[in-house]
Amino acid sequence: MEDIFKKVHFDFETLPALKSPRHELGLTGAALGLIRLPAGEGYTFTHSHDRQEEVYLVIEGKGEMVINGEIVSLTRGDAVRVSPSAHRALRAAGEALLVVCAGGVPMGYPKNPGARYLIDDGIPHYDEVPPWYAGDEEVVFRNRKLKERMERSRKRREERSKSE
């Protein structure tokens, strides 16, 4: 029997930087992300999607978003729609930023049933450092390590699928 509804509670003050409530809510057709960035902090790389359009709704705080190199200021109440192919990243300005990110889920997702997110078509661009971290060698190093880890994971998945 299908659940008619499901209610969960999130303490916005203690949220991690990115929380996907996919499993808690039993989501099957809506992608949802809760984003809380401390003042002055932001994503260290951009990302895009293969098919998912996203809408970012600012609940609290101020910040900015880089979208294909353009800086967009954000304040409480703003909603920003971003096309799948656009490269984007968020940053909190002088105060913490709380954002709800929502997207539609095309049929056939997630491709990996164990995926953290309902739509697993995200494409990280680890070599594309947002302007707020430009020239920060520590960020470049950390992004390079993330990219290497992603590539190792991809190779392991490919090897497993060949042996099955």
Domain count along the chain: 1
pTM score:
0.87
- Give, in order, the Cα–Cα distances in Å from 108 to each of 25, 28, 63, 84, 144: 19, 11, 34, 17, 31
CATH of the domain at 80: 2.60.120.10
For the beta carbon of residue 61, count every other beta carbon within 10 angstroms. 20
151: closest CA among 141, 143, 162, 139?
A: 143
- Give, in order, the Cα–Cα distances in Å from 27 to each of 53, 66, 103, 117, 120: 17, 28, 12, 10, 13
pLDDT tens for the chain, residues 1 to 164: 567 899 999 999 899 999 989 889 988 778 899 999 999 999 999 999 988 889 999 999 999 999 999 999 999 999 999 999 999 999 999 899 999 999 877 666 666 776 666 566 789 999 999 999 999 999 999 999 999 998 998 898 788 878 77
Domain span at residue 146 reads 15-163
Q: Is residue 122 part of a domain?
A: yes
Q: Is residue 10 part of a domain?
A: no
Q: Is residue 55 part of a domain?
A: yes
